[in-house]
Amino acid sequence: TLYAVNVTDEVANIMGNAESAISNGATCLMINVIVTGFSALRMLAEDQSIKVPIHCHRDMFAAFARSPAHGISSQVVSKLARLCGADHLHAGSIDGKLFEDNDTVIKSSETMRRQWGEIKPTLPVSSGGQNPCTVEHNFELLGNDFLILAGSGIFGHKDGATSGAKAMRQALNLAISGTALKDCPVGDKELKTAIRQWQPSLDK
């Protein structure tokens, strides 16, 4: 289990935040690479005392990536973060609520994972409107080498967050085994409830 603590701050404070987080049990650090700058990410990644993964958020990147008339693409952001040492990076959202379509998310994810000399890969993160019923399509489009984050998909479960977490785990188990969501076993009652809530057309 990874517990990521957000250390985003003024650059002068980031290293102190990271040291404090780790000393208090953090098993992962989160930084918003867009608002702190890529050099802040590189500072963390190159510091030999930082021995936990670095999870990179890119909130606000749409300010220079959403318009087709100016800015840079998400693939460029993915390359820059990977060059600077990101262990995880948000890639967009498969079937989610963000502005990028699935094809863009796939391309960003491929940019993070493909062979690139001696540059280590970055694990793509599918996040933004994810829930137990989107897990299957994430696996179909991204394979099994990615991270899926589901805030509303866990806390929004009608039976509460514990049931939401169980439903996500059950959906992941199905996807890993190659079992279709529509064939969800009766015993996975939390996932059954999630299907009725988010994808009622599959409810039997």
Domains and CATH numbers, the chain: 4-128 (3.20.20.110), 151-204 (no CATH)
Q: Is the pLDDT of residue 204 over 70?
A: no
| Range 81-107 average pLDDT | 93
User: To the nearest whole number, what is the mean pLDDT of the chain?
Assistant: 94
pLDDT one-digit tens code per residue, 158-181: 999 999 999 999 999 999 999 999
The pTM of the full predicted model, rounded to 2 decimals, is 0.92
Q: What is the pLDDT of residue 107?
A: 96
The answer to whether residues 84 and 143 touch, using CB atoms and an 8 Å cutoff, is no
Strands 54-57, 4-6: pairing kind: unpaired
pLDDT one-digit tens code per residue, 111-139: 999 999 999 999 999 999 999 999 999 99
CA atoms of 204 and 80, how far apart (whole Å): 46
